[in-house]
Chain A
């Protein structure tokens, strides 16, 4: 609970900057609209206004400032507009509605979780291979690193299009991108975790004449638990980003990524912003969920207080 105050302070600072930024960002649009509605705006010609900064325009037309917070198609929506849009699309709409963010959230979350599960499973298997096989250590690890240098924005449309041409659509192609992003932190964390037992602990097992698999199950696997959880938290948020990126360039009609793109293309910034914040909240919830599982598991294992 000690972290509440610092977190609130940061949120308050961000809100403050946001609220201030809304005025200059939307001032030109508001001034143009006010003039069309018959109000007197300084300076009078749009061309002259273009030469002024948003802040300077606000100073000359203080009466218009409140309007920047409620403008219908703003360049930068105000926090209350985004909150209103989110309330409406999350709580007020039926979740079966195509405008419900809960519906779009599930469309994104399902492939995120599937991809995360695939990526985690694959990551653990690769890590075990890398730790136990010198050949895999030499051959797989460099490729795992190279795989993360390929821009996902370039790769995602290719995967979606190629799989689409093979008749595979919907959940699976997006899961593949999510898995692609999440397996890497799991591999890195698990390799480190599986190698974390000291030489002394390995010697101890040798004095017991323990088999390799006994060493894996009694020592290496439990020792890697703290490393695995650190990786899972990175991996699950990477999965969400991967799914959203997979939704962006491919004309997907549902999901957070599709909402962000639709809002952008059809001049509905509120839709984009609401989807953006909903995605951020989803990521925070997923990471929070895994933090809670981590705390409970490590406490049960007796490792939390150490």
Chain B
């Protein structure tokens, strides 16, 4: 174990779904390490297995071959230890619970003492800039605010790993820019390890310390780019030459993946 600990470690990972049209190779021969504190984006066209890979880390899918560890243990043990927070494509807030009630849901399920709830809810709402919305119901919030609330829900139980599956995919670009900026700040303040699935090249380049480019049939990793961008990233950085160069490399990687079709 070197200084920054390996949070996710995948070796020769395979996952084949048996469907009526025959086997589908969602993941084939995937090797990857995510170290503590990294912000890793997974990018690729649909069917490249990026969401499947994330779901394997979360123990929502079972690999059919190879090895994977989360925090040094199996994904199942990690899930049972509540080692990660998962943010889905849709906010999926319970409509019958207020924002505060939604954030308390994991706390109630995990048996966090009631006395701590109020403090934790206030803290995570402040992290996603939703302080004051605790008593509102989800339908009273915009789509972007609902997604922020779902991020707050994933943060409330203090897991060090955040798995995010295209959390901003359904939002318009202006809202998305704002949320990306907020997410970077949040990552900086909390020091969490984040695995982030996206299909937007600028989003991946802007957010990540490491960009994993994937391609479909079979789902595999075609390129892993360590970003040279500084940790401090204003939105304007997206017009810098460095940024455009990385974006270009990502695009090349995506194109190369498609060329084998």
Contacts and interface: CB of A to CB of B under 8 A. Distances in A.
Interface of A: 198, 200-201, 203-210, 214, 218-219, 222-223, 225, 301-303, 305-306
Which of B90, B96, B106 gathers most chain A CB within 10 Å?
B96
Contacts of A204: 86, 88, 92
A220 to B, nearest CB: 11
6 contacts: A200-B92, A204-B88, A207-B79, A209-B110, A218-B105, A305-B137
Count chain B CB atoms within 10 A of each CB in A203, A207, A209, A210 and give the residue with the most.
Answer: A207
Given A218-B109, A302-B137, A302-B139, A207 B86 contact: yes
Q: Interface majority SS on B: helix, strand, loop or mixed?
A: loop
Contacts of B138: 302, 306
A200 B150 CA distance: 13
Contact of A222 (B58, B90, B94, B98): B94
B138 to A, nearest CB: 8
Contacts of B84: 207
B170 interface: no
Interface string B73-112: 0000001101011101110101111100000011011100
A207 B109 contact: no
A210 B139 contact: no
Nearest to B163: A207
Contact of A207 (B58, B94, B108): B58
Contact of B96 (A200, A201, A225): A225
Interface in B130-157: 137-139, 157
A302 B109 contact: no
B96 A301 contact: yes
A14 to B, nearest CB: 39
B256 interface: no
Interface residues of B, number: 27
Given A208-B106, A210-B109, A203 B79 contact: no
Given A218-B109, A302-B98, A209 B79 contact: yes
Contacts of A223: 96
Given A203-B88, A207-B86, A209-B82, A303 B95 contact: yes
Nearest to A298: B96
A302 B135 CA distance: 11
Contacts of A207: 58, 60, 79, 84-86
Contacts of B106: 208
A99 B86 CA distance: 67
Given A207-B60, A209-B109, A218-B109, 14 more contacts: A200-B90, A203-B86, A205-B109, A206-B60, A206-B79, A207-B58, A208-B105, A209-B82, A209-B110, A218-B105, A218-B108, A302-B95, A302-B139, A306-B138
Contacts of A225: 96
B109 A306 contact: no
A106 to B, nearest CB: 36
Interface string B39-62: 000000000000000000011100
B80 to A, nearest CB: 5
B134 to A, nearest CB: 13
Given A200-B90, A204-B88, A218-B108, A302 B97 contact: yes
Contacts of A198: 92
B96 A222 contact: yes
In this complex, the member of A204, A301, A303, A306 whose beta carbon has the largest number of chain B beta carbons within 10 angstroms is: A204
CB-CB nearest 6 A-B residue pairs: A302-B137, A301-B96, A207-B86, A306-B139, A210-B109, A208-B109
